[in-house]
Structure 1
Amino acid sequence: MQPDSATPPTPPAAVLWDMDGTLVDTEPHWIAAETALLGRYGASWTHEQALSLVGNALPESGRVLAAHLEAETGVRLDPAAVVAELVEAVVAQVSAAVVWRPGAVELLEALAGAGVPCALVTMSYRSLAETVARVLPGAFAVVVAGDEVERGKPAPDPYLRAAELLGVDPARCVVLEDSPTGIASGEAAGCRVVACPHMVPIPPAPGRSRVASLAEVDLAVLARVAAGEVVDTVGATPAEP
């Protein structure tokens, strides 16, 4: 028996959004801030090295940058001070102008219209997360920031915390992510994950949905993913004429 095509698909209980690289295009700001900080002390920092930090919890990135600086120059910096400087620089950039990822605002508006709650789940600190959230008042029912969880991504804690605050089952949530670290976090939390690659490629994996852009995602796609369907348009080629 075929399902009734007139019956609307059941949306997810909630949609949990990563911020940097998924909702807003802040990754170039982070890379510029890292390069400027290290360059001030005469240390090099390649684009490839910067990409290796995408999605990391900020304390871990601070440790990596401090260790790199000491290895290259002998200069020792407190990793927490490194993070504080990076956050300040990126907050200043985002305060001047927010660059949304394609399709993100439209999808948030559609979810609000359908009554689907959203959470912002980021490894950035609350000062930056609130700077972004304030631009779209009411879009996020809760914000989980990197300085408020004991274990950051790739541990499941941030997404589990978001589901707990929303009062929903993680298994009924869909996570939107752009980094391998964030995807690992969402999958470990038991959520359905839609990967939208940005700065780094995301390989296919069993049960993992991937899209080239959030502009491809609507309520129907999220309902299909929430129901267990895998949607993968990354690398899809047009059909032969």
Structure 2
Amino acid sequence: MSFRPDAPAPVSAGLSASTIITRAVLFDMDGTLVDSTAVVEQVWGEFAARYGLDIAEILRTSHGVQAGDTVRRFAPVGTDVAALTAELGAMERVRTEGIVALPGAAELLRSLPADAVALVTSADRILADIRMGAAKLAMPATAVTADLVTRGKPHPEGYLRAAELLGVEPADALVFEDAPAGIAAGVAAGIRTVAIGPNTGPLPDGVMHIADYSAVSVTTDVDDAGIRTISFRF
């Protein structure tokens, strides 16, 4: 994978080459930087079996959403949501087999200015550290995890907070997301959003789709006003 300014990126089938110029890059984690599908399906499958629930429906709606919101939606009336969410979280923290980085994710993160990158995830900080470590990806210095927001995706709070922490306006940032809830959060925040992977669902107008990062090139420049810009070519 190349991130050289003189190396045009190959274009995915059905996607025209285009360039997006930004000042900050905001990444979701699961499904966007980290492939944790096996663990997620295993844990939620055990949850579904315990209560006789439809695992397909749980997986369809849980991607990108905080675990507590999914438990609250599907668990039987009277369930201690906080206790069950904590139990599921503990299960996820000890299961890392099969967790890998998406193609090109590590190279892309290394190519970006560290102070222009944030992670915005529905996982809590402990789980985020575990999964990023399992995938051998460096945790960005700026991370907005589930324990730092009051409203999870699809609410835009996490992405708006990340942009603020990086010192940029939403219009000057770029979001990478894989799930409908996260894509909706990026769009609602007024941030240009790129959807990645096979689980995005129908895309809002203006949202580009890529399979992974292997066909992406990026360069960093300083404009005439002394402002650093990051150019992505898809």
Q: Given the two structures, how large is their TM-score scaled by the length of structure 2?
A: 0.78
Equivalent position of 1:161 in the other structure: 161
Aligned length, in residue pairs: 207
Deviation for aligned residue 1:63: 0.5
Q: 1:35 to 1:204 in 2, by over 3 A?
A: closer
Deviation of the 1:170 alpha carbon:
1.6
Matches within 5 A, 1:85-234: 85-94=87-96, 98-112=99-113, 117-134=116-133, 135-137=136-138, 139-198=139-198, 200-219=199-218, 223=231
Query: Which residue of 2 is the match for residue 237 of structure 1?
Result: none
| CA distance 1:12–1:50, change in 2 (3 Å) | same
- Structure 2 portions without partners, runs of 5+: 7-18, 220-229
Distance in 2 (CA, whole Å) between partners of 1:44 and 1:111 is 42
The one-letter code of the counterpart of 1:180 is P
Amino acid at match of 1:19: M
1:20 matched residue in structure 2: 30
Which consecutive segments of 4 or more residues in structure 1 shift more than 4 A? none
How large is the RMSD of aligned CA atoms in angstroms? 2.7
Say which of 56, 64, 80 aligns to 1:78. Answer: 80
SS of alignment partner, residue 160 of structure 2: helix
Offset from partner CA, 1:173-213 (integer Å, 9 cap, x none): 11010011101111111111110033x24324322111111
Q: How far apart, CA to CA, are the structure 2 residues paired with 1:224 and 1:143? A: 22
- Secondary structure of residue in 2 paired with 1:151: coil
- Structure-2 residue corresponding to 1:53: 62
Give the conservation status (yes or no) of the 8 Å contact 1:18–1:182: yes
Q: Secondary structure of the equivalent of 1:210?
A: strand
Query: Which one has a larger percent strand, Structure 1 or Structure 2?
Result: 2
Q: Secondary structure at the residue paired with 2:35?
A: coil
Unpaired segments ≥5 residues, structure 1: 71-75, 226-230, 232-241
For the residues of structure 1 that align with 2:74 and 2:216, how far apart are their CA atoms? 35
| Cα distance between partner residues in 2 of 1:116 and 1:172 | 14
CA distance in 2: counterparts of 1:183 and 1:162, whole angstroms: 15
Offset at residue 10 of structure 1 (A): 8.3
Deviation (angstroms), 1:154: 0.7
Give the alignment's TM-score, normalised by structure 1. Answer: 0.76
Bigger CA radius of gyration: 1
Q: In structure 1, what is the Cα distance between the partners aligned to 2:70 and 2:231?
A: 35
Q: Separation in 1 of the partners of 2:20 and 2:195?
A: 21
